[in-house]
Copies of this chain bind each other. A is one copy, B any other.
Amino acid sequence: MLNTIANHRSIRRYTDRPVDDSLLRTIVEAGTRASNTGNMQTYSIVATRSADVRKALMPAHFNQPMVETAAVVLTFCVDFCRFGHWCRLRDAEPGFGNFESFISAAIDASLAAQNVCLAAEAHGLGGCYLGTTTYNPDVIIEALGLPRGVMPVTTLTLGYPAEDPGRTERLPVEAVLHMETYHQCTDADIDRLYAEKESLPQNRQFVAENNKRTLAQVFTDVRYTRANNEHFSRVLLDTLRRQGFDI
């Protein structure tokens, strides 16, 4: 367990070896063992292997090749469609078309996703999360036929690794761990906590390739700009409302 967690890397290149139904069920079942709100299991996992559906998913993920080359593409969704259906069949009136229900279920879907990721890795697979899921949820809804009450949250591409990259750096634990209450960093804390990250050759190269002066500018001016974040926020909100969540 601890080795699996410690050795996690995002794997973006895969061999041709398929993931069969039995292994797929095993890792999805591992996902369902995660804690979830009220044990309502208000999530679903769509497993895509066919060329047609991958093709429909590609633009949602900005044509990242893993969507085509992975053995399987798993889309984790908030799902109040199934639970609501059960409620109505049992003379119960569901009231889950709201922000709180969506957030709780999105957290639950994420906990399940991380179980699936680790279980897959323990079985020799490697994977990569696609954050693009919340950028283009409308395209994913269309591609996967997600009904009202269902909203994609994250995607995990999985396959047998055809690469063996090093682990990505992380900030020192002190950066994220706060004792008792939150402690705001001083400027000197920031300098110290980010020093190693900023000094890494790959990150220096990243700054140079993007013609920026600092690594932070690569994030704010190139990769995660305010304009893009605000555009994708509008798409995400509009899509959530269309799927039945009042926000």
The reply to whether B118 and A219 contact each other, CB–CB distance below 8 Å, is no
Q: Which residues 112-161 of A sit at the B interface, judged by CB distance below 8 A?
A: 113-115, 117-119, 121-123, 128-129, 131, 134-135, 143-147, 150, 153-154
- A154–B104 CA distance with the chains assembled, in angstroms: 9
Interface string of A209-228 (1 = CB under 8 A from B): 00001111101110111110
Interface string of A180-197 (1 = CB under 8 A from B): 111011010011011000
- A171–B145 CA distance with the chains assembled, in angstroms: 22
The reply to whether B230 and A95 contact each other, CB–CB distance below 8 Å, is yes
The reply to whether B180 and A50 contact each other, CB–CB distance below 8 Å, is yes
Give the contacting residue for A96; candidates B113, B147, B229; CB below 8 A. B229
The residue in chain B whose Cβ has the minimal distance to the Cβ of A31 is B176
Give the contacting residue for A4; candidates B1, B178, B219; CB below 8 A. B1
Q: How far is the CB of A34 from chain B (nearest CB, A)?
A: 6
The reply to whether B147 and A91 contact each other, CB–CB distance below 8 Å, is no
Secondary structure call for the A interface: helix
The reply to whether A182 and B46 contact each other, CB–CB distance below 8 Å, is yes
The reply to whether B175 and A82 contact each other, CB–CB distance below 8 Å, is yes
A62 interface hit (Cβ, 8 Å): no
Number of interface residues of A (CB under 8 A): 121
A208 interface hit (Cβ, 8 Å): no
A205 interface hit (Cβ, 8 Å): no
Give the contacting residue for A2; candidates B41, B48, B113, B119; CB below 8 A. B119
The reply to whether B100 and A229 contact each other, CB–CB distance below 8 Å, is yes
Max chain B C-beta neighbours (<10 A), residue from A30, A43, A135, A180: A180
The residue in chain B whose Cβ has the minimal distance to the Cβ of A227 is B95
- A89–B188 CA distance with the chains assembled, in angstroms: 10
Max chain B C-beta neighbours (<10 A), residue from A48, A53, A229: A229
The reply to whether A86 and B194 contact each other, CB–CB distance below 8 Å, is yes
The reply to whether B237 and A99 contact each other, CB–CB distance below 8 Å, is yes
A-B contact pairs, 9 of them (CB 8 A): A25-B173, A85-B187, A92-B217, A93-B220, A100-B230, A100-B236, A106-B110, A147-B182, A247-B247
